[in-house]
A and B are shown apart, each in its own frame.
Chain A
């Protein structure tokens, strides 16, 4: 039987509850120990599961109605009053509808507003493109002072929520709808903002991924080991900003092949963050970004979309196979193809 309170979640909890459900319950637990924590939403208390906090602490929960700009302005004001606001809505509304409030009201003034955004990526695929969000990494990581986190599952969501409450300044955590299977067995691991986690070691190629792609990449790595004899290192880059440069550069030297996987446009997201680190280091390697290739995603249920866009284990296996034959070229000619 699941213990539905607390902060120490296990795989059973993560398999029976969505990541947002675990977020709402974790936040409630944090609220018990810190009365500076307050909550805001824009008519999505149930949808984002911040409703658990709302029910426990009605005197410090504020629903502003369907008004995301106001929600994040109000959150900035609450922080100005000395509080630690958690603001929850869908990712697309947090990062674009209220993008200027995030930048100007929150980040510019270094306020400790924690934006926990749900339905990110293509997780709400059947809602249609208005509710997809494949732009949030690009928006949020280009805002100064902002920390950007994408947890792999419900357990890691809880870890990230706990960590962000202790971190000064603004934090953006993106989660999906959270119906995906859990990635971690339990919460007995070290989660540190900005410190990537090697989920599986390998010598032939490193796949750097985040969010739902972590579990899929682990499954792909198992298949590749069994069927192709390819040794895949899997890195869970749960913090997109600040990015863990050390983990990237060590993998460049160790494996000389880097593949990034993200549920985001390949422009401006994890792949670009990793690619910049590699390019600036002067170290060479085979490098490929995989994600959504600068298009608005078609309609469908999330699992169908992950399969169609190659973000599931099969798609990742194909990506790895396609770049395993390539070698880092020391050639001096730029148009040798």
Chain B
């Protein structure tokens, strides 16, 4: 069933608010992986505000759906989502990166309430997702484990080790999402280390690949609905995104992989988000 206009507006409003908070986090923290944080905002919005069954009052509830931000450097895009979801007060985000803060450039599951898995070293999330999913199946738990990878991250061999396992063990309770923003630190993915034919690679590993616009809530909704009910093959969502999405001067600009913002830049960025 298609997503309603009202529902779409609700999600778009949340995403816009999150993007504004991400700019604040960039300022408070002294710097953030801003491009890859803005490219995943719409994906995280629909996950946390429609699909993932989590309870901010009971963050360790054992039947909750799990989420792994394997591209852990996008913590600035992820931790504000947990705050918005109510796991902790948004005011705490002001401590980001500072001495003794639970929040760093990469998320720590022992410190961040609502964060299921620590991440930051690329290529680690998908093996852990496979392990959680194997455990869930053995324990006869119905929850899903969603793992969000960066496209550049897929240079790491351990991603493909895990992909083989997820397919081999028929782990349809894992939903793998790739943030295909086409940029990595040193430049375009296709120039640095080509990933294409990317969808075919995942298909060859045994996945049902669904390629979408990762900023389109109609497509995101239809895709997650499909992924949540898949029983034959594990689903790989290849979400084509724009690095820096929502801030015109950051979009598709490799300079904004990581950036710190002064007041003027942050105001300019927020103005652009409000226009988008």
Instruction: Assign chain B's interface to a size class.
Output: 20 to 34
Q: Is the CB of B124 within 8 A of A74?
A: no
* B12 at the binding interface (Cβ < 8 Å): no
Knowing A104-B118, A109-B110, A109-B117, say if A69 contacts B161 (CB, 8 Å): yes
Q: Which residues 159-193 in B have Cβ within 8 Å of A in the complex?
A: 161-162, 164-165, 168-169
* A310 at the binding interface (Cβ < 8 Å): no
Q: Is the CB of A100 within 8 A of B121?
A: yes
Q: Is the CB of B110 within 8 A of A81?
A: no
* Residue from the list B66, B121, B139, B165 in contact with A74, Cβ < 8 A: B165
Chain A interface mostly: helix
Q: Is the CB of A74 within 8 A of B127?
A: yes
Tell which of B62, B127, B138, B141 has the most Cβ of chain A within 10 Å.
Answer: B127
Expressed in whole angstroms, the Cα–Cα distance for A82 and B110 within the complex equals 15
Q: Is the CB of B133 within 8 A of A77?
A: yes
Residue of A nearest to B116 (CB): A80
Give A279 Cβ to nearest chain B Cβ, in Å.
32
Chain B interface mostly: helix
How many A-B pairs have beta carbons closer than 8 Å: the answer is 105
* B158 at the binding interface (Cβ < 8 Å): yes
Which residues in A have their C-beta under 8 angstroms from that of B116? 80
Knowing A59-B138, A83-B135, A104-B124, say if A73 contacts B130 (CB, 8 Å): yes
Q: Is the CB of A80 within 8 A of B128?
A: yes
Expressed in whole angstroms, the Cα–Cα distance for A34 and B110 within the complex equals 26
* Residue from the list A38, A70, A76, A79 in contact with B165, Cβ < 8 A: A70
Knowing A38-B135, A64-B161, say if A77 contacts B110 (CB, 8 Å): no
Tell which of A60, A70, A82, A108 has the most Cβ of chain B within 10 Å.
Answer: A70
Which residues in B have their C-beta under 8 angstroms from that of A67? 158, 161, 164-165
Give B106 Cβ to nearest chain A Cβ, in Å.
10
* Residue from the list A59, A64, A73, A110 in contact with B128, Cβ < 8 A: A73
Knowing A64-B165, A74-B165, A80-B116, say if A105 contacts B128 (CB, 8 Å): yes
Expressed in whole angstroms, the Cα–Cα distance for A80 and B131 within the complex equals 8
- Which B residues are within 8 Å of any A CB, using their own CB? 62, 66, 108-110, 116-118, 120-121, 123-124, 126-136, 138-139, 141, 157-158, 161-162, 164-165, 168-169
- Which A residues are within 8 Å of any B CB, using their own CB? 38, 59-60, 62, 64-65, 67, 69-70, 72-83, 85, 100-101, 104-105, 108-110
